[in-house]
Amino acid sequence: MDYEKIFRAYDIRGIYPNEINENFAYELGKALATFFSGKKRRVVIGNDVRLSSESLKNSLINGLIENGYNVFDLGIVPTPIVAFATKLLKAKFGVTVSASHNPKEWNGFIINDSNCLTVGLNFGLEKIKEIMQNKNFINSKRKGKVEKFNIEGEYINFLKSKFNFESNLKIIIDAGNGSASELLPKILKIYNKGNNIELFCRFDGNFPNRDPEPKKENLSKLIEKVLIEKADVGFAYDGDADRVVIIDDRGDVLLSHQILSLLLQSYGDKIKNKKVIIDVLSSIAAIEEIKKYKAKPLITKVGRSYIQNEMFKNKAFLGAEISYHFYFKEVFYLDDSIFLTLKILEFLTKTNKKISELIRDVPTYFYESKRIEIKEEMKFKFIEILKDEFKEYSIEELDGIKVWLDNESWIAIRASNTEPKISITYESKKEKRFEELKQISEKLIEKIKKL
């Protein structure tokens, strides 16, 4: 078992059954029971729709109950709801069996602690890995038990405590056959009395209609439906429903910083002087929008565990990643895509405006991001090699390297936390400078291909 490969920055992920299988899940259960040892032995478990998820979950549960843990099994639920249930049920931790947006052959485990924060590397995951590698498991004389638990009612009641509006909009939802497929339509019927049109809202671990990762190239059916139906908005969710991509009334895919701007606008005066966490790949426009609404931007590494922990430490109000994860202090710092959906619908209802109007003045600069395949063992070494090449420029090393050619132009090169890939991202306010960055990126890609 290649632990270095499957234990990633903020979760555990690999191809089933070659890299992750039932025996691994069973031993992970034992390792988690060892890491989270103590008097309170209560854990929440959920899973996504992947074909291997149920079997992996059962093996994980066996490892936990054999070591004295009582398990609440939520069944198929979005990843943020597992963390929500951890808080509600006063559990010691939670685990979602999911590989999030990865292709269907993958699976994995996303772990959260009692504060709903992701247990990633540098936040405890490295210790769990060490326990598994050394087979240093505790043995409990007391056996735990498993209980099926339906969290749906409690979650809906929580949303009702946060939202009190009734919209009359035409919306299209594309659940991608993932974890949001059944719960989301039920919730939307409570709040939107207009027309809720569903695409791919049926559980299917084969993901027959599109890839679990919602991106422009696989959202053609949603975009077409928005335009044909003259809908107010379209929403597309990833495999475990912790991300959402928004299509506006013109059929355009909103950029991450445009969604962030909508959120900032929706909070009005409440956002003033509040801290907003964004990642190192965020557009210059994101920083400008945060400042425009009198909030305070803070920059951190890419990834759920880094964003959440920075939010928790700084008591930040909002968090946003370029990858369409949005985090809310109101929901225990979770990237809850259903909460985000309701927040946008509430704002559209309040303003009685189209999204295209609301984002009209949000700047968009020349921005491009590429992900290049690289040998897993080379991806971090490649970043180190580049530091010398760019030494004459201003370099930030918070996450990979971010090179500033001037105060309006940058290129960032970082190793993916979840795949054997290098991401190259660059942005400039000036088209000419952007073309220079593009040439630099092409030279870097050629170097990667020769490795």
CB 295 within 8 A of CB 329: no
> Does residue 418 or residue 225 have the better pLDDT?
225
Domain end, chosen from 358, 388, 421, is at 358
pLDDT per position as a tens digit, 101-136: 999 999 999 999 999 999 999 999 999 999 999 999
Question: 387 and 259 in one domain?
Answer: no
User: What pLDDT, on the 0 to 100 scale, is given for residue 268?
Assistant: 96
156 within a domain of the structure (yes/no): no
Percent of the chain with pLDDT over 90: 92
116 within a domain of the structure (yes/no): yes
What is the tally of structural domains in the chain? 3
Domain end, chosen from 150, 173, 208, is at 150
Domain end, chosen from 123, 150, 177, is at 150
- The alpha carbon of 135 is separated from its chain's Cα centroid by a whole number of angstroms, namely 31
User: What pLDDT, on the 0 to 100 scale, is given for residue 418?
Assistant: 66
pLDDT per position as a tens digit, 76-97: 999 999 999 999 999 999 999 9
159 within a domain of the structure (yes/no): no
> Does residue 451 or residue 168 have the better pLDDT?
168
379 within a domain of the structure (yes/no): yes
Question: 277 and 414 in one domain?
Answer: no
172 within a domain of the structure (yes/no): yes
User: What pLDDT, on the 0 to 100 scale, is given for residue 141?
Assistant: 87
155 within a domain of the structure (yes/no): no
User: What pLDDT, on the 0 to 100 scale, is given for residue 397?
Assistant: 95
Q: At what angle do helices 79-88 and 152-162 cross, to 10 degrees?
A: 90
Any idea what the CATH number is for the domain that residue 109 is in?
3.40.120.10
Burial of 96 (0-12, 13-18, 19+ CB in 10 A): buried
User: What pLDDT, on the 0 to 100 scale, is given for residue 436?
Assistant: 97
Percent of the chain with pLDDT over 70: 100
Does the pLDDT value for residue 4 go beyond 90?
A: no
Question: 204 and 110 in one domain?
Answer: no
Question: 75 and 33 in one domain?
Answer: yes
Give 192's pLDDT tier (boundaries 50, 70, 90). very high
Domain that holds residue 47: 3-150
158 within a domain of the structure (yes/no): no
Length of the chain: 451
Any idea what the CATH number is for the domain that residue 412 is in?
3.30.310.50
Q: Distance between CA 298 and CA 307 in Å, rounded?
A: 10
Question: 191 and 328 in one domain?
Answer: yes
Does the pLDDT value for residue 226 go beyond 70?
A: yes
User: What pLDDT, on the 0 to 100 scale, is given for residue 233?
Assistant: 98
Does the pLDDT value for residue 420 go beyond 90?
A: no
- Catalytic residue, chosen from 52, 53, 59, 100, is 100
Does the pLDDT value for residue 419 go beyond 80?
A: no
Question: 107 and 77 in one domain?
Answer: yes
pLDDT per position as a tens digit, 28-68: 999 999 999 888 899 999 999 999 999 999 999 999 999 99
Does the pLDDT value for residue 223 go beyond 80?
A: yes
Question: 224 and 342 in one domain?
Answer: yes
> What is each CA distance from 399 to 52, 301, 413, 415, in whole angstroms?
33, 5, 9, 9
Give 21's pLDDT tier (boundaries 50, 70, 90). very high
- The widest CA-to-CA distance across the chain, in whole angstroms, is 69
Question: 195 and 80 in one domain?
Answer: no
Question: 326 and 249 in one domain?
Answer: yes
Question: 186 and 136 in one domain?
Answer: no
Q: Distance between CA 34 and CA 136 in Å, rounded?
A: 8
Average pLDDT in the 330-357 region?
98
157 within a domain of the structure (yes/no): no
100 in active site: yes
Question: 335 and 190 in one domain?
Answer: yes
Average pLDDT in the 169-195 region?
98
Give 350's pLDDT tier (boundaries 50, 70, 90). very high
Question: 221 and 303 in one domain?
Answer: yes
